[in-house]
Amino acid sequence: MARKRDVVVGVIIAVVCVVTLGFFGLIFIGLLTEDGDIEFVGLGGNVGVVEMFGVITESSGRPVIKQLDKWADSRSIKAIIVHINSPGGVVSISQEIYGAIRRVREKKPVVAAMASVAASGGYYVACASDRIIANPGTITGSIGVILEFHTVSKLLEKLGIESETIKSGEFKDVGTYTRSMTKKEELMLHSVVMDAYEQFVEAVSEGRGMEKDEIYPLADGSIFTGLQAFNLGLVDTLGGLKEAVDLAAELAGIEGKPKVVRPYKKKRFQIFDLLGRFLEGINKTVSDEFSGPQLLYLYQ
């Protein structure tokens, strides 16, 4: 009887140890995982969906690039859909996402699926894909560049506050909020904006297989519905995410119904999640406040 009791106690202790080790192991993995993303994919034909939602910034764009690069090397992901719901954003990170999509295309097909809005930088990114699909009512286009400055010189004058600046060159403090721009500064910045504009037109020309002369009349910042964009040759077909999945599967040669895979955000303990969000918010606020004026492919 005592022996049987010892066996039962031993089994219970073993189970408790395994459960405890597993529990703390999950905690350990959760703390070490850089971004908390894990995926469960099979060996069949999978279509990965990467979401690009909201204004394109450094903080929102980096995860998109990371996921694209990761799936580019995944043998189980046969095609990728970039699901875009964005008015655009910062020029430089939009260009990096564009480049990441072009790299993926060397290994597997990429389809851009436009949701409610895919304008300016959102459209720029879409042009890097093999095919673009939009809903008839999608807002897209807005091909152009914007650079904004805010000045409080009149307010400072009313308050009796003067600002003195020592600079190494004539244009070193261009865009300062303490005074209005000079004509020479305006001309210099306009040349910068137009250079970024030409880069946009070049990207559309390359991505859509259109001559620049065909694009310039459309590249005045005008927005279009998905249907208008289709008729103008700015998108390939009309439809939603389901049609995008079917198109991606067709381009990848997937037989049968493809599996749709999305990055899975692993749940962490609330304290770590709250701390992470708090630090991320501080970082974003500081970055936005001190980054200065930025070139934007942005629909406003």
42-to-77, 220, 248, 261, 267 alpha-carbon distances in Å: 9, 46, 17, 10, 22
d(CA 278, CA 17): 35
d(CA 270, CA 285): 22
Q: Is position 172 annotated as part of the catalytic site?
A: yes
From 107, 163, 167, 172, the catalytic residue: 172
The distance in angstroms from the start CA to the end CA of the chain is 80
d(CA 41, CA 207): 30
From 60, 86, 94, 120, the catalytic residue: 120
Q: Is position 267 annotated as part of the catalytic site?
A: no
Catalytic residues: 120, 172
